[in-house]
Chain A
Amino acid sequence: MVDVTPGSVGPIPPAEVAEMELYHPHSWWTKYVFSQDAKVIAIQYSCTALAIGLVALVLSWLMRLQLGFPGTFDFITPEAYYQFITMHGMIMVIYLLTALFLGGFGNYLIPLMVGARDMVFPYVNMLSYWIYLLAVLLLVAGFFAPGGPTGAGWTLYPPQAIMAGTPGGEDWGIIVMLSSLILFIIGFTMGGLNYVVTVLQGRTRGMTLMRMPLTVWGIFTATVMALLAFPALFVACVMMLLDRVLGTSFFMPAIVEMGEQLQHSGGSPILFQHLFWFFGHPEVYIVALPAFGIVSDLISTHARKNIFGYRMMVWAIVGIGALSFVVWAHHMYVSGMHPYFGFFFATTTLIIAIPTAIKVYNWVLTLWRGDIHLTIPMLFALGFIVTFVNGGLTGLFLGNVVVDVPLSDTMFVVAHFHMVMGVAPIMVIFGAIYHWYPKVTGRMLNHAMGMFHFWVTFVGAYLIFFPMHYLGLMGVPRRYNELSDMGLIGESAHHLNAFISIMAFIVGFAQLVFLFNLIWSIRHGKEAGGNPWRATTLEWQTAHTPPTHGNFGKELPIVYRWAYDYSVPGAKEDFIPQNEPGSFGPSREPA
């Protein structure tokens, strides 16, 4: 047991090393474009991620047009449909969610929340963004390449990914996609090292690990995981690129394609799947853990109550992070791997449900006897819990190997992962943007537009993805651009598909309102002041809002307490900032 008492006011160690000198920008270019300030880099990352995310959103409309009203839109050919799916999935998972949580929120929040002036390696941090931008531009270039982008599905399974029957397989599409991923990983590694080292090395005096806000714990653990998981994808991409360009046979066995013997032999398609999912499963948590951390802080702040069971929450984050490296093959139950793997991976997968459930309990128990302010961040946090619990529970179907057999590769899977890693983390992203926008810009986002955005997104997304599970239960496979005369479904399933599509357009429209709000409020939003939510963490205690380069004025803050001193009995206010000395400890020791 660690003898940290949440809420206790501990002794402060003396400063041991001198402060690091910051790079001073000399021109407009180095201040706003090639900036080394983590906050500027964060905004660059976020804007780029949101822009490319908008492309993925438009692609989802096109797919839904096809699925809801098959045969109506001639330009959505089967090739085009597969290209849309692939780009949509890849962009959403990697170029939007990963980049936004780690590059965006990570850059902005880590230094501010741990009381550092900047990331530890600002120059490398800057490079990280520019390489990411290059990766995104290359990805977009795929749309203009001869033959268009790849249509191999976001999982890029060989052999089909590099064969003629798949769009982009024998053209440029797959080459562009693999190259872009390789660049992304290089860029991410540069940023990722920064986030990890800054958390380990850059904390201000008094900021012990067990006093860090859960946001930082979530992003930190996710980054460590990403640094360990991305190399597997990197290797897989390089080998597949060689198979495609030089004709090697890492993943390619002997193949007869349309009556023609190919030159490959001896490669293993299933090896690619292991590499892909060794990355791909942790990736789910790379997106989820930052969301877990952030939502904990949103709930605590807006319910004016300490997060319930902080230590358990930290251990759950770390435990989930570690366990998530030994569950990858639950994506491969019907891949043809050795059937006995099923016993192992089903067991590990279901065990991971336990720390995950603890997190959920602790969020809802934080609401218990709280002082719940139904602000927009709080609403999104509630929306997150509903969608996350729903998606997490359907994960228990798919994780339980034999139950997965009928359901895998059906729309049930699509519904499950959209709920758990699409909608749920995005709810947190929205909540977080409403929460921190005032710090970034000095102004509040418009409330009325925010309410509209929340209600349409939450209710709409639930209506899209909840019924979709039942299509999968019937047996409708995923990645079918039309069901045409499929015997097992009736007319009613087509109506359901049309309904889902219409909801998708409505939800999509609400996102445009949100984007408008982001831009409109920069000038017209209500003045926020330094700490509009009356929060305890360090980013709200800066001398300036938005914080200037170097984050904190002359003196770095010194931390005296954990991040969750809300509604401490006897205190004047219902929150005590982390950098406030004084003797208000907890009213009682944890039982």
Chain B
Amino acid sequence: MAVVLVLVLVVVGSVVFHLVSPWWWTPIASNWNYIDNTIIITFWITGVVFAAVVLFMAYCVYRFRHKEGQKAHYEPENKRLEWWLTVITGFGVAAMLVPGLFVWHRFVTVPTDATEVEVLGQQWQWSFRLPGKDGKLGLAETSLVTSDNPLGLKTDDPNGQDDVIVQAADLHLPIGKPVKMLLRSIDVLHDFYVPEFRAKMDMIPGSVTYFWFTPTRTGTFEVLCAELCGQGHPFMRGVVMVDTEEDYTAWLGQQQTFAQLTPPQQTSSVEPASH
């Protein structure tokens, strides 16, 4: 009997915990409430299945536990029942998968008017780069990184001269404008993750990865690194501030461009790093 009681308690306890415990997702700050909705659908379907299976089991134990003289029923299989269960499960699975794939399609389709913002991860800090007046980011490469050129921009690419460099400081974004985050790393894997935006993506040295979102409320949000990147991993934090249009423009005005930061050099860009 203890078993029956505990099985029922597992179901009741889990549901109550889900409903009343203080631990739940952070209030969303991006357009990805579609993702939250898909999670809710999944919670409902899986929750019902979990409760049904465990309660059915509890009932079986209660009803059919051994008593003197009891004999089990002999029934090797029941094709009809098995097919029914398969079909119903198929529908349940589809009910989660189909909306999921629609939202994924949206997630991987970047709107054409999205502004590009580059995030560069390195052990164990974040830097950012925004396109200048020309709206274009200049080319960059890991092999060009020096202490004077920490993001590894190609010095002879005109698109890069007016890029705004935000090194090891906070990133600001304007509210309501879609942004495409271009993600780059110069050493190991990192992952740019802001829980309130719901989105994340790994950064891989040698590649540029991306995701997009639209900030939907102003505020200060913590950036966490979500891919193990060595012993400083938990301390690789950053800050993203979502501003109103005016605040954002004011902030942008104070930032320095690549040209302003780089000492003029006539010769080559492969000058050794000075420490």
Contacts and interface: CB of A to CB of B under 8 A. Distances in A.
B198 to A, nearest CB: 4
B189 A160 contact: yes
Interface residues of A, number: 119
B57 A367 contact: yes
Nearest to B21: A470
Contacts of B209: 336
Interface stretch (A215-223, A234-242, A309-317): A309-317
Interface stretch (B80-88, B126-134, B245-253): B80-88
B222 interface: yes
Interface in A403-430: 403, 405-406, 408-410
Contacts of B152: 256
B142 A159 contact: no
Contact of A311 (B26, B77, B89): B77
Given A305-B73, A372-B61, A474-B23, A342 B199 contact: no
Taking each of B22, B23, B82, B101, which has the highest tally of chain A beta carbons within 10 Å of its own beta carbon? B23
Contact of A354 (B21, B89, B108): B89
Interface stretch (A54-62, A108-116, A527-535, A565-573): A565-573
Contact of A364 (B53, B103, B200): B53
Interface stretch (B62-70, B163-171, B256-264): B62-70
A346 B24 contact: no
B204 A488 contact: no
Interface stretch (B35-43, B111-119, B153-161, B173-181): B35-43
A303 B75 CA distance: 13
B206 A253 contact: yes
B234 A397 contact: no
B12 interface: no
Contacts of B78: 308-309, 590-591
A590 B193 contact: no
B139 interface: no
B10 A342 contact: no
Contacts of A144: none
A513 interface: no
Contacts of A474: 23-26, 195
Contacts of A409: 191, 193, 200, 226-227
B10 A587 contact: no
A566 B54 contact: no
A487 to B, nearest CB: 5
B90 to A, nearest CB: 6
A44 interface: no
Contact of B6 (A166, A351, A459, A470): A459
Given A308-B77, A354-B86, A474-B23, A480 B7 contact: no
B38 A403 contact: yes
A466 B6 contact: no
B193 A374 contact: no
Given A306-B76, A312-B82, A270 B204 contact: yes
Given A166-B231, A253-B142, A402-B107, 15 more contacts: A153-B228, A157-B228, A163-B188, A256-B152, A304-B71, A312-B82, A358-B85, A367-B64, A369-B64, A373-B65, A401-B104, A477-B225, A488-B26, A493-B23, A591-B80
6 contacts: A157-B227, A160-B187, A256-B186, A403-B100, A474-B25, A586-B76
